[in-house]
Amino acid sequence: MAHADDVLSQAPLFEALNEEDATALRGDVTKVDLARGERLFTEGDDGDKLYIILKGKIKLTRAALDGRENLLSVHGPGEMFGELSLFDPRPRTASATAVTDTSLAALAHDSVRSWLATRPDVAMHLLAALAQRLRRINDVKADLVFTDVPGRVAKALLDLAERFGVPQQEGIQVNHDLTQEELAQLVGASRETVNKALADFVSRGWIQLSAKSVLVTDAERLRRRAR
């Protein structure tokens, strides 16, 4: 596992900094540890910090009035969240909850703002991270309109494999740490329909399922189904 300092230096905010500046910014970081299932903040809260994941996974969710949850995304080491309320000081747009035991580096928005004021290259890196997020959201939105549930399940599995997968002899081992309910929330479909698609992929020999993990044994066929 990568050392926490290495993870931090690859995060969008730190990537653009030279050694000296990165060391100075590290001085502003506080560490936050969360146990699995613990909530960091809730949609609608005031937010004054952004976070970079050092270890573990965070899910970002929004709740409907009837209590149903939409899982916007799952983030792992090196990824950043909580920056929207930095650029646009309004309440948090989503809730953040630890999916596994998780360590975070927290940076106060005020301290990031003063860095950005004098470092256009750092601002460019943050803008690039925001642009990537917008592209992803456009893809997800198009899939919700144009792609059937099995196609979306295939895409979600490939996306999780790309972020969290470890290549092994039999395939790509993806320890996503999500329950079946959370997987369904990520795909934006009912648990029953998502389970049916997963069972179909298993019977075709494309994946093997275990609790909170999947072994992708035929990524190519999964990719074709995702189109």
Binding site for ligand CMP (CB under 6 A): 47, 60, 72-73, 81-85, 92-94, 133, 137
3-state helix, strand, coil in the chain (%, to 5): 45, 25, 30
| Nearest to ligand CMP of 140, 174 (CB atom) | 140
Nearest approach, Cβ of 47 to ligand CMP (angstroms)? 4
Residue with tokens 């389970």: 195
| Nearest to ligand CMP of 126, 207 (CB atom) | 126
Nearest approach, Cβ of 133 to ligand CMP (angstroms)? 5
Nearest approach, Cβ of 73 to ligand CMP (angstroms)? 4
- The H-or-E segment that residue 103 falls in is strand 102-108
| Nearest to ligand CMP of 81, 201 (CB atom) | 81
CA distances for 24 relative to 29, 70, 130, 165, 197, angstroms: 10, 38, 24, 33, 49
| Nearest to ligand CMP of 80, 198 (CB atom) | 80
Nearest approach, Cβ of 41 to ligand CMP (angstroms)? 7
d(CA 50, CA 87): 11
Residue with tokens 């050092």: 54
